[in-house]
A and B are shown apart, each in its own frame.
Chain A
Amino acid sequence: MNAAAPAGRTALVIDDDPSISTLLQIILKREGYTVTCIRDGREAQKAIEDGAVPALVTLDLMLPHVDGYALLELMRAREAWRNVPVLMLTARSQEKDMARAMERGASEFIVKPFKPEELRERVRRLVGASS
């Protein structure tokens, strides 16, 4: 269960929905990540600018104050964040939203509702690829 995740790795969950955040936290914890949850765009901005660089980011597009696109751009603008795998979470299945996110540097996306297994599969693939 925890075997796949290297010990001490951190994951940053940026999502304004507390239940999703909790769910992601549990799933990623079980994957061996130390999870930090941020529920606001501005906070996320601060974390990117000042905080430690995580091994994985899950990012919701729809956030208060600063949206997912802006955060993506912010991350990719920083050297340290450039290669951090970012998994986009979206309730929108519109292709153009996905395309926009991918253009701005998203590594992968997953559409709600998703199953924990699907998330795990993507996380493993992303982290494996980036490391």
Chain B
Amino acid sequence: MSARPRQPAPAPGNRQTAGGALPLALRYTHVSLPVTLLLTLLATTIAWHAAENALEASTRAHFEFRVTEITDAIRGRITDYAQVLRGGVALHAASESVEWYEWRAYVDTLRLENTYPGIQGIGIVHRVAHAHAGAFVTAMRRHSTAFGITPPGERPEYFAVRYIEPMNERNLRALGYDMYTEPVRRAAMERARDSGEAAVSGKVTLVQEGPTGTQPGFLVYLPLYANGAETGTQAQRQRALTGYVYAAFRMADLMRGLLGGVPDLRVEIFDGHEVSDEGRLYDSARDTARDEASFVTVSRVVVADHVWTVRTSALPALMASVDRTRPRVVLASGIAISLLVTALVWTLATTRARALRLAARMTRDLHQSREQLTMALEGSKLALFDWHVTEGTVALSESWNVMRGGPAQPTLTTIDRLEGTVHPEDAPRLRHHLAQVLRGAVPYYEIEHRVRTYDGRWKWIVSRAKVTERDENGRAVRLTGTNADITEKKVVEEMKDEFVATVSHELRTPLTSIIGGLALIKEDSATLPEETRVLLDLAYENAERLAALVNDILDIEKLEAGRIALEPKALELPALLRHALRVNAPYAERYGTRFELAEPVPPVRIWADEARVLQVLTNLLSNAARFSPADAPVTVRASEREGRTRVEIADRGPGVPDEFRSRIFTRFAQAHTGGNAPHGGTGLGLAISKAIVEASGGAIGFESAPGAGATFWFELPLAR
């Protein structure tokens, strides 16, 4: 049993909950937006940082590589230069005395400027004992007239520059210079002498330097030992030393050749292990302001037997050359994504909020309409009922139980039990109407009937309903409607009916006198004057009409109040119809027409009150006769179908006017068909007929097209 219990009025709490959910959701939205933006931006920042770090790492790696390259180049270059000097040493080994032109030729072949840039000159230092100094100077002056040992002074031995190539003005200043007098050079010379290997001097200013454009320099020495002398020990080497092959370097020139242009790096070279201004040999960006560089590397380069400290710094150019696209892309796209995500969240949140708002509004509307409905039902004392036809269950609202004198609670019952509360006299009528509306024969159902209250009394209710749901085959699934207590109205109606009945009743006695008196006079009217006779007839006819009216009023009052006890029995239809036609034949004659019974009449028996069925037939036949044109017969036809018989009375009159169709069966609803005189009758015949037929469990109706006659029909159940 899937019942459809009426929801009780919503508890006020429900509504509050529905209302409270909305601000909460909105508050949630307000919080979620900045949080989303913050989180996504944070993620962006992290990603950006990661990209930046990766970039820095790769930049640093690149930088480190460059540094390694540079230090390797320096070391390699000095080694190469040492090799050049070794060539000079070899030259000496080959001949006892190397002449100046031989030296020049050797140095020329080296093509220093191209192959070994930075070498200021390659020269030979000659060891001269004090005793031989004069002869040496004399010999030298043979081809170099200005030769002299500098600085002047008496010394036990001299180490004077004998040759220096290429011979240019700058190198000329070095010729004859006793290097041994200068401590830095002397230290290197002694190391070379003692080790037999190349020795690199500390930072010096070359004697070649002029007054301007001075730059730091250094020298590389290789010792020359006397040919054939023992050089196995340090002492032997000291004794055997005859001089040096040396090379003079101007540091800036050397490095320029070595590094080429390095706009992105600052390379500084310091003599020894320390970074100090005094020891600075070289600064590739001397003119550039020193600022905090991102990358600085200090490394040590061993050049021959000497150590240089190389400090490499990244210049803004290096940082500028770095491709920063990636982190920027990361940052930009990150921000874009953040904004997008936030926008998306915002959209979702607002959509959600909108949906919630809509839902809340709909809920509120629903509650409101429910409440309104409930209040309307309570106010109008209407009991809602919902009959699930296929399942046979009926749900009724509280008012139903209240109506029947019970507590205010919804009722859930079955249609059979519900029918059990209906007054037995009303049940057939009710069933018939229900069947019609379920079948779809009528769109709407409205019937007044009685139901039993809990204390056994009867209450009048009006039940209105329509089919609210049908299945695909058109079968009724649900029937929904209202029941209203009309007992009070019924009481008033009964009082009114009683009044009408009393009035009608009180009319009867005087009418009897009038009709009787007039009738008696009419019996002797032959002797009366013509005009008197006409007036007498007029009075008599109208008295009769008044009597008929009174009878009809009483009839319908009783019928509609359900106060008429029908005495149904099985009636042979053919005999009944023939009798009706015979009795009413005078009517037809009066209107110049006739009744025709269409054969065959089905030989069935109907279940009805004979007098009342005859009354119906009389009403319909007299109606048809009144409206029928002269000489056009009124046809009576009977048929049988589905346990019912149908009797049709067809006339060829003007038909039922459109504006009259809907109320033709109501009291005093007489049509005024154009031009004709009033059609007589009381105006109650059809209403009475309808009441009789329906009380007998039948139906009545008509079909008519204006101008094409009318066919009135009624259906009655067959006798079982």
Residues of A within 8 A of B (CB): 17, 19-20, 22-23, 26-27, 30, 91-93, 95, 111-117, 119
Contacts and interface: CB of A to CB of B under 8 A. Distances in A.
Contact of B517 (A23, A117, A119): A23
A110 to B, nearest CB: 9
Given A20-B516, A23-B517, A116-B520, 14 more contacts: A19-B510, A19-B517, A23-B513, A30-B520, A92-B505, A95-B565, A112-B509, A113-B508, A113-B512, A113-B514, A113-B515, A113-B516, A115-B516, A117-B519
Nearest to B563: A94
SS class, residues of chain A in contact with chain B: helix
Interface of B: 505-506, 508-517, 519-520, 523, 543, 547, 550-551, 554, 565
B512 A114 contact: yes
A45 to B, nearest CB: 22
Contact of B509 (A26, A27, A91, A93): A91
Contact of B512 (A20, A92, A95, A117): A20
9 contacts: A20-B509, A20-B516, A23-B513, A91-B505, A93-B551, A95-B565, A113-B508, A116-B520, A116-B523
A113 B519 contact: no
Nearest to B567: A95
B616 to A, nearest CB: 18
5 residue pairs, one from A and one from B, having the closest CB atoms: A113-B511, A19-B513, A113-B512, A91-B508, A112-B508
Contacts of A119: 516
Contacts of A91: 505-506, 508-509
A13 to B, nearest CB: 13
A27 B520 contact: yes
B515 A115 contact: yes
Contacts of B510: 19
> Chain A CB within 10 Å — which of B505, B509, B511 has the most?
B509
Nearest to A17: B509
A56 B708 CA distance: 55
Contacts of A115: 515-516, 519
Contacts of A23: 512-513, 516-517, 520
A125 B635 CA distance: 36
B513 A26 contact: no
Nearest to B548: A113
Contact of B547 (A26, A27, A113): A113
Nearest to A96: B565
B520 A20 contact: no
A112 B513 CA distance: 9
B69 to A, nearest CB: 136
Contacts of B523: 116
Given A92-B505, A113-B508, A20 B513 contact: yes
B84 to A, nearest CB: 158
Given A91-B505, A93-B554, A95-B565, A112 B520 contact: no
A115 B543 CA distance: 11
A21 B565 CA distance: 32
Nearest to B546: A113
Nearest to B547: A113
A124 to B, nearest CB: 16
Contacts of A111: 508
Nearest to B511: A113
B519 A116 contact: yes
A113 B565 CA distance: 22
A20 to B, nearest CB: 6
Contacts of A30: 520
A20 B509 CA distance: 7
Nearest to B550: A113
Nearest to B551: A93
B611 to A, nearest CB: 10
A74 to B, nearest CB: 24
B565 A116 contact: no
Nearest to A19: B513
A67 B519 CA distance: 29
User: Among the interface residues A22, A95, A116, which one has the most CB atoms of the partner chain B within 10 A?
Assistant: A116
A57 B485 CA distance: 50
B516 A27 contact: yes
B556 to A, nearest CB: 12
Contacts of B508: 91, 111-113
Given A113-B511, A113-B550, A26 B520 contact: yes
Contacts of B550: 113
A95 B559 CA distance: 13
Nearest to B505: A91
A20 B510 CA distance: 8
A116 B516 contact: yes
A4 to B, nearest CB: 14
Contacts of B509: 17, 19-20, 91, 112-113
Contacts of B551: 93
